[in-house]
Amino acid sequence: MKHILTEELLQSLTADTPSISPKFFYDDIGSHLFDVITLLDEYYPTRTEKWIMDTYQRGIADAVAHCDVLIDLGAGNCAKGSQLFDSIAPKQYRALDISKEYVEAAVADLQKQFPQIEMSAHAIDLSLPLAFPDLQALRKVFFYPGSSIGNFNPEKADQFFMNLAHECHGNGGLLIGVDLVKDTETLHLAYNDPLGVTAAFNLNALLNVNRLIGSNFQLQDWEHYAFFNTSLSRIEMHLRARSDVRVILPGNGSQDHIISFGVGDLIHTENSYKYTQEHFVEKLRHAGFADIQCWTDPNKYFLVCFAKV
Ligand code: AVI
């Protein structure tokens, strides 16, 4: 595993645009830092999505109409998914997450509170195609909140939607939350909070990489850099070298790899795409969803859609 990760990081860090995959954000510390980000005044997506979900609970439940299985993609602690139990009354709840242990523990707790719902927990990698052959005959509602779709590049998002539209097997849909394009200052602040939590979240990826492969990134050599790229409609997060830096990636038996960065060089760590409502609805339609209902907040900061096949 260590060897595979070293290879992956060696490739990504020596590419024309050096990068570290955003998956390296989410170790224990990173997951906690992300939870803190969602509490920040500047990070509006989480509370705005919750406002929309709470305010339009009835309308959303009416749009969903009937749900045999609620499939929570990226369930985490299952808090958002379980908020839907009262209003859409699923018969089954399938919680999927990259971390099997985490989601299993959450589902075990939830099952005690909702014994009438059949529950299961599964590990998934959302970058791979999903298939639910055992659920073909049932009405499925996929749930993908939090604008996690913004972290996919647009082509990957299209493939993901096509995959889900297909897996509805003609019955069901996708309930999804997405962050909308807005003034640059609001976007900038959401990813450059004055307390520095997002900076810590970004920098922690280096510590996680050090822990995983034994590299020697030094935090004082790097700084958080995030901005809204208007032409690509995305927040870009980078780590910027504060001086000339040499990083050693252990060779695991063979020679160590040394990677040099000059002052100001960037390591790209994340994209967070922002959509207009029209563009997002068009993407869903293009993927095969026929009937799309949307809810937003008064500022039009965030969008929740139920896309039915
Ligand atoms: C998880 N994802 C939707 C967050 C976002 O806004 O793109 C990750 C994040 N990165 C920095 N702050 C939050």
Task: Please check whether residue 295 is in contact with residue 304, taking contact to mean a CB–CB distance below 8 angstroms.
Answer: yes
Q: Contact 10/247 with Cβ under 8 angstroms?
A: no
**Mutate which of 272, 301, 302 to test ligand 1's pocket (most atoms within 8 Å of Cβ)?**
272
The answer to whether residue 135 scores a pLDDT higher than 80 is yes
Determine which residue's CA is closest to atom 2 belonging to ligand 1.
Answer: 148
| Contact assessment for residue 213 and residue 240, using Cβ atoms and an 8 Å cutoff | no
Q: End-to-end distance of the chain based on CA atoms, in angstroms?
A: 40
The percent of residues in the chain predicted with pLDDT above 90, rounded, is 93
Q: Cα separation of 29 and 232, whole Å?
A: 30
User: What's CA 175's distance to the chain center, in Å?
Assistant: 15
- What band does 192 get if pLDDT is binned at 50, 70 and 90? very high
What is the pLDDT, as a whole number, of residue 100?
86
Helix (H, G, I), strand (E, B) or coil at 179: strand
Rounded to whole angstroms, how far apart are CA atoms 165 and 100? 25
Q: What percent of the chain clears pLDDT 70, i.e. is strictly above it?
A: 100
Give mean pLDDT, residues 293-303: 98
DSSP 41-86: SS-HHHHHHHHHHHHTHHHHHHHH---SEEEEET-TTSHHHHTTHH
| pLDDT tens sequence across 252-262 | 788 999 999 99
- Answer yes or no: is pLDDT of 235 > 80: yes
Distance, in Å, from the CA atom of 143 to the CA atom of 271, rounded to the nearest integer, reads 21
pLDDT, the chain, mean: 96
Which residues, judged by CB distance below 6 Å to any ligand atom, belong to the binding site of ligand 1? 37, 45, 146-148, 150-151, 191, 198, 201, 270, 272
Give dist(CA 121, CA 279) in Å, integer: 33
Ligand 1 center from residue 12 Cα (angstroms): 21
Tens of pLDDT along 193-211? 999 999 999 999 999 999 9
pLDDT at position 1: 75
Mean pLDDT of 1-8: 90
Distance CA 224, CA 140 (A): 40
Contacts of 26 (CB under 8 A, 6+ apart): 34, 98
